[in-house]
Amino acid sequence: MKKYILALGLLLFCGVLAWPPAGAAEIPDVEEIVDRANRVAYYAGEDFRASVRMVISDAQGRTRERQLIMLRRDVNDGGEQQFYLYFEKPADVRKMVFMVHKFLDRDDDRWLYLPALDLVKRIAGSDKRTSFVGSHFVYEDVSGRGIAEDNHELVEVTDSHFILKNTPKDPDNVEFSSYTMWIDRENFMPVKAEYYDKQDRKYRLMEALEVRSIQGHPTVVKSRASDLAGGGETVTEFNDIRYDLGLADSIFTERYLRRPPREVR
Amino acid sequence: MTPGNRIIQFSISKPRLITATMVLATVILGALMVNVHVDTDPENMLSRDEAVRIFHNQIKKEFTLYDMVVLGVVNEKNPNGVFNVETLARVAELTDFAETLSWPDPEDPDKIIGVVRRDIIAPGNVDDIRQAGPGQVRFEWLMPEPPATQEEALEIRDQAMANPMLKGTLVSEDGRALGLYLPITHKDLAHRIQKQLKEKIAGFSGEEEYHITGLPVAEDTFGVEMFVQMAVSAPLSMLAIFLLMLFFFRKLSLIISPMIIAMVSVICTMGLLIGTGNTVHIMSSMIPIFLMPVAVVDSIHILSEFHDQYQKTGDRRLTLEHVMAQLFRPMLYTSLTSAAGFASLALTPIPPVRVFGIFVAFGILLAWLLTITFIPAFIMMLQKESLASLGGRVKGGSSFLSRHLRWLGRVTISQAKPIIALSLAALVVAGYGISRIQINDNPVNWFAPNHPIRVADRVLNSHFGGTYEAFLVLEAVDEQETAVDAAQLLKQSISGLKPSTARQQEINAEAIGDVDRQAPLSATPDELFAALEEKWEKQLDMSSSDQGYDLWSNMLDVLETVRGRKQIFKQPALLSYMEGLQEHLLTTGIAGKSNSVVDIVKKVHQELYEGREEQFRVPDTAAGVAQSLISYQNSHKPDDLFHFVTPDYRKANIWVQLKSGDNKDMEEVVQAVEEYFIQQPPPIPVSHNWAGLTYLNVVWQDKMVSGMLKAFMGSFAVVFLMMTMLFRSPLWGIIAMVPLTLTIALIYGLVGLTGKDYDMPIAVLSALTLGLAVDFAIHFLQRSRMAYDKTGSWREAAKIMFEEPARAISRNVIVIAVGFTPLLAAPLLTYKTVGFFLAAIMAISGLATMIIIPALITLLEPRMFPRRTL
């Protein structure tokens, strides 16, 4: 009997420690959460370089690999951005380059350089819900979904997370009916998102598997996108991450598609 | 006392015990029927461990392929066909609706069964790659939302027509039809899905027609209708048999007994079948239909004899003893031969046919046991008065049937030679017919021509490349390659790089040195490649000059080219070969279309070059193919690629669309592929194999035909031996086989002459023919021998034979032949076929027995009755 009382006491004690949750007094406005999360996830630093390795597994457990060098440069914080993705693997797409100029007020500009065909191709940027080179990530996962495209609702605040429900303003343009997002209260990093289809069935899951602080920026170094309906997932790892390299504007131009800049070597 | 006599004495003295036992057995076995498990999947015609079936399922899994329900929307009235605002709006609505047709699996609620949403082929769910302004390509749903204007509708048409993956599959070339392909997780959901689609469509008004087809629909619908059919046809047949017996015997109380025997045999057999854990398959569902005629035949013999004899004695017991003395042996033997005929099906390699054969055989023996025990018991239990008028009114001497039979008896004796000559001529004609038999089956053709499924099949296959699918799978043949071989190849390729500068010469030499050093350290080529890649990538990173960077980069390209050879379905030479193969398939006229990774590569390549027609081709290099394919994977459904090729690019699937599901057509396509591979060997060795429901049907048909032939030959021999034993004379044995042989020859000759396909039901009928056709001969010969013993001459014996024995045979023929005519009205052709052939078997074998056997006896009298003629 004594043991139980002790256990109960301990439990109560712990409960008191955890209550009230840290910073519960000041829960920011939902738009502010969204805005901060967006900056933390996609706009850390002035620019960014990483070696990215993707392992795509299908429902049968067969895997494929993609390896690429990613350069990002923010034209203005929270706004226009530039991406330069240089492919190293699979070997038969080596030197392939994918470049994006991201805009908030109009469709992105996207270029694809195919070295084997010696062809620079513009890819229409209107639909960002297409797969990123066959992985379970879509373009929007890589470059960020415009925060103005959804209505946001703070559905729950836990000890550690803000839980937001996001409903698209233009549901015809996307394949989901809503997605629920978990945002770390500490650093405003989105760490999980669950997508629901038009029949309101959960079909897609995105997770930050590992977050590390690099040059003072919380950074997702490992993430996963899972297809809950069909099976299969893609795990992405970021290595050799560097912020604020001082990437030149000129790198993100057509000129560098055929001839990769030093920064990716 | 003979065994027959002992049984009859027991039945006569203990009628109630017999009846009670029978009722109890029926109730117990009948109760087992509640566990019924229906299996309508023709795939189960092959056993689970059959190689082709394992391969089929492996391919389905490997390429994520599903069985498809095909929903065709046809608009013949609008000048633009289906490409108008209204029709496309309905198509979009239907697609949305189809997407909802999935449910949690009742057995495993975490799993979703039904329509596989992501793999639906519909305008709103397929990706199209198209030009989006100058120099831009775009991956876009073909129809993200229904068009608002006619121009937009036509634009959708033009886009679809320009996409070889869609034209002929999603849209018909004439623009009048659109096909929605709904992949389903389980074939046995096809009927449910079809029903719900139909309900949805019923709510539409408009000028479109809707058709639903696809093998799973045909197969599943057949299963459902089959059971309805059983519930309708079997009782109708019973009723017809009942009415005819009433007509012949005019004694309601008497003729109830054969009905009871038929019912009890069917219930006990089906109960046992279900109780022993067997599923009720398409084949076993036909057991009642096959069992009923056999079950009543013996009873009719008894009743016929009893009916004719009763008036002479006026005593049940005496009459029964007389009847059973006459009939016990022939009934035993007819039952044994019938059972043997069906039991022989156990030799076929097809599980459902085996089950069918064994249980029908069981049912026949059960019916025999019931006949010899229950019929006497039943007669004993009747009120004596109710038998008083029996046979009285039907004067054997004057009825229409009797007069003609007597006339027939005289003819067989006077015209014996012409009869034999005529029979031989018939045999020759039958032989010609048999030589023309066409072995073919198609589950869709199991439905009557005006059945909605047949109509849908005709309409949709006239518009599209074909609604029947088969998968031609090409696979790399493994070649053993050592690290040394790979090193050799690498060095050759590096030497092929003509050095133009000293630096290049240096790097080439260094690379060759690396290869030489690494090769002995590597166990496999893959290890060698990996080691070199790591090394050279380091070189690349360390290059301070652009020149060094470029040169090492080229070296990595060389490495990749050598390594990439294993990914054979990125090699342009093999893709071009497949292109040729696909073109060759079209020349058969049966394969209306085929889709493969080649079509994807060509289409993407074309769009990368502004949609220029001359760029609709396979790129020149493997890297060009790889980069076209990775571009393709930037779509909404990148995994669509892996319906056609495995991620290791070692196996490819050509989805062949056939306009016909006829096995003979599938066989022709298979043949065309074989020829192509012989005439033009592939540039890289690959194996080729078929999968897909349409192909599976061919495989089990082949097994069925050869298996049936073997089973038939075996049981023919067994029956002949039994006849020889029964009559203790090979000559009598041979004569007993004559009507049966002629019947089978004529039946199958007829099949050949009329051009009717030799399909599953027809094949199974051979067993039934064997069982039924020999019955009459046994009765006739056994009784002839008895009559001869009595009279001492065939001329006199024949007179006896064409009285009661001939009447019994005739009654049997008529009852069963006419009794199964309700089957002719069935909407399922298999049932029609069975009905028609049952009637034909009875008529031919009955006539052959009563005409040819007496003619033969007339000619062979001295040899057949040697002692008497001495």
Residue A72 within a domain: yes
Residues whose CB falls within 8 Å of the CB of residue B165, separated by 6 or more in sequence, listed in order: B126, B595, B599, B600, B603
Residues 158-187 of A with CB under 8 A from B: 172-173, 175
Residue A6 within a domain: no
CA dist., res. A114 & res. B632, Å (int): 12
Whether A231 and chain B come into contact, CB under 8 Å, resolves to: no
Question: Over the stretch B400-440, which tens digit does the pLDDT of each residue have?
Answer: 888 888 888 888 888 889 999 999 999 999 999 999 988 88
Closest residue of chain B to A113, computed from CA coordinates: B627
Note down the domain range covering A40.
Answer: 16-258
Q: How confident is the model at residue B391 (pLDDT cuts 50, 70, 90)?
A: low
Question: Over the stretch A24-76, which tens digit does the pLDDT of each residue have?
Answer: 447 889 999 999 999 999 999 999 999 999 999 999 999 999 999 999 999 98
Determine, for residues A94 and B560 on separate chains, whether the beta-carbon distance falls below 8 Å.
yes
Whether A117 and chain B come into contact, CB under 8 Å, resolves to: yes
Question: What integer pLDDT is reported at residue A7 of this predicted model?
Answer: 58
Closest residue of chain A to B556, computed from CA coordinates: A91
What CATH number is given to the structural domain containing A34?
2.50.20.10
Q: Please state the rounded mean pLDDT for residues B240-269.
A: 87
In which residue are the tokens 């198509």 written? B91
Residues 4-63 of A with CB under 8 A from B: 58-60, 62-63
Q: When comparing pLDDT for B517 and B764, which is higher? A: B517
Whether A115 and chain B come into contact, CB under 8 Å, resolves to: yes
Question: What integer pLDDT is reported at residue B818 of this predicted model?
Answer: 82
Its pTM surpasses 0.90: no
The closest of B856, B863, B869, B865 to B412, measured between CA atoms, is B856
Q: When comparing pLDDT for A10 and B336, which is higher? A: B336
Half-sphere exposure of A108 (CA within 13 A, CB side): 25
- Lowest average pLDDT, out of A83-92, B53-62, B310-319, B433-442, goes to B310-319
Q: Is the pLDDT of residue B867 over 80?
A: no
Q: What is the DSSP string of A150-210?
A: EEEEEEEE-SSEEEEEEEESSGGGSS-SEEEEEEETTT--EEEEEEE-TTS-EEEEEEEEE
Determine, for residues A130 and B636 on separate chains, whether the beta-carbon distance falls below 8 Å.
yes
A143: chain B residues, CB-CB within 8 Å:
none
Determine, for residues A265 and B540 on separate chains, whether the beta-carbon distance falls below 8 Å.
yes
CA dist., res. A238 & res. B301, Å (int): 89
Between chain A and chain B, the number of residue pairs with CB atoms below 8 A apart is 126
Query: How far away is chain A from the Cα of B217, in angstroms, using its nearest Cα?
Result: 24
Closest residue of chain A to B138, computed from CA coordinates: A124
CA dist., res. B550 & res. B557, Å (int): 10
Closest residue of chain B to A109, computed from CA coordinates: B136
Question: Rounded to the nearest 5°, which phi and psi values hold at A107?
Answer: -60, 145
SS3 assignment, position B290:
helix
Question: Over the stretch A233-257, which tens digit does the pLDDT of each residue have?
Answer: 999 999 999 999 999 999 999 999 9
Q: Please state the rounded mean pLDDT for residues B687-695.
A: 93
Determine, for residues B628 and A58 on separate chains, whether the beta-carbon distance falls below 8 Å.
no
Closest residue of chain B to A96, computed from CA coordinates: B627
Between B560, B605, B633, which is nearest A131 by CB? B633
Query: How far away is chain A from the Cα of B520, in angstroms, using its nearest Cα?
Result: 24
Q: Is the pLDDT of residue A185 over 70?
A: yes
Whether A240 and chain B come into contact, CB under 8 Å, resolves to: no
SS3 assignment, position A99:
strand
Closest residue of chain A to B125, computed from CA coordinates: A175
Selected for mutation to probe chain A from B119, B138, B533, B536 (highest A CB count within 10 Å) is: B138
Assigned token pair, B422: 């005529």
B822 in Cβ contact with B380 (< 8 Å): no
Question: What integer pLDDT is reported at residue B103 of this predicted model?
Answer: 87
Residue A4 within a domain: no
Q: Please state the rounded mean pLDDT for residues A194-206.
A: 91
Determine, for residues B136 and A121 on separate chains, whether the beta-carbon distance falls below 8 Å.
yes
The single-letter DSSP state of residue B643 is G
Question: Rounded to the nearest 5°, which phi and psi values hold at B324?
Answer: -70, -35
| Residue B203 φ/ψ region, left for φ over 0, alpha for ψ in the -120 to 50 degree band, beta for the rest | alpha
Q: Is the pLDDT of residue B642 over 50?
A: yes
Question: What integer pLDDT is reported at residue B390 of this predicted model?
Answer: 62
SS3 assignment, position B587:
coil
Closest residue of chain A to B539, computed from CA coordinates: A265
Question: What integer pLDDT is reported at residue B400 of this predicted model?
Answer: 80
Q: How confident is the model at residue A18 (pLDDT cuts 50, 70, 90)?
A: very low
Question: Over the stretch A85-134, which tens digit does the pLDDT of each residue have?
Answer: 999 888 888 899 999 999 988 888 999 999 999 999 888 877 788 899 99
Type of residue at B828:
L
Q: Is the pLDDT of residue A146 over 70?
A: yes
SS3 assignment, position B634:
coil
Q: Report the percent of chain B where pLDDT is more than 70.
A: 98
Determine, for residues A172 and B144 on separate chains, whether the beta-carbon distance falls below 8 Å.
yes
Between B62, B138, B630, which is nearest A134 by CB? B630
Query: How far away is chain B from the Cα of A126, in angstroms, using its nearest Cα?
Result: 8
Determine, for residues A129 and B636 on separate chains, whether the beta-carbon distance falls below 8 Å.
yes
In which residue are the tokens 């290099």 written? B621
Query: How far away is chain A from the Cα of B214, in angstroms, using its nearest Cα?
Result: 24
CA-to-CA dists, residue A21 to A31, A37, A166, B778, angstroms: 21, 20, 24, 97
CA dist., res. A74 & res. B427, Å (int): 93
Residue A10 within a domain: no
Q: Report the percent of chain B where pLDDT is more than 90.
A: 37
Tell me the sheet residues that pair with A235: A55, A224
Determine, for residues A117 and B648 on separate chains, whether the beta-carbon distance falls below 8 Å.
no
Query: How far away is chain A from the Cα of B130, in angstroms, using its nearest Cα?
Result: 10
State how many domains chain A has: 1
Selected for mutation to probe chain A from B96, B630, B648 (highest A CB count within 10 Å) is: B630
Query: How far away is chain A from the Cα of B76, in angstroms, using its nearest Cα?
Result: 31
Determine, for residues A126 and B541 on separate chains, whether the beta-carbon distance falls below 8 Å.
no
A172: chain B residues, CB-CB within 8 Å:
144-145
Whether A91 and chain B come into contact, CB under 8 Å, resolves to: yes
ipTM of the shown complex? 0.88
Q: Is the pLDDT of residue B552 over 60?
A: yes
Q: How confident is the model at residue B869 (pLDDT cuts 50, 70, 90)?
A: very low
A153 in Cβ contact with A164 (< 8 Å): yes
CA-to-CA dists, residue A111 to A25, A89, A97, A99, B811, angstroms: 47, 19, 8, 5, 87
SS3 assignment, position B728:
coil
Question: Rounded to the nearest 5°, which phi and psi values hold at A110?
Answer: -135, 140
Q: Give the orientation angle of helix B804-819 with respect to helix B829-864, to 10 degrees.
A: 160
Q: Is the pLDDT of residue B201 over 90?
A: yes
User: In the predicted model, what is the mean pLDDT of chain B?
Assistant: 87
The closest of A194, A188, A224 to A208, measured between CA atoms, is A224
CA dist., res. B330 & res. B724, Å (int): 13
B62: chain A residues, CB-CB within 8 Å:
60
Between A130, A230, A232, which is nearest B634 by CB? A130
Question: What integer pLDDT is reported at residue B2 of this predicted model?
Answer: 67
Residue A7 within a domain: no
**Radius of gyration for chain A, computed over Cα atoms and rounded to the nearest angstrom:** 21
Question: What integer pLDDT is reported at residue B691 of this predicted model?
Answer: 94
B113 in Cβ contact with B105 (< 8 Å): yes
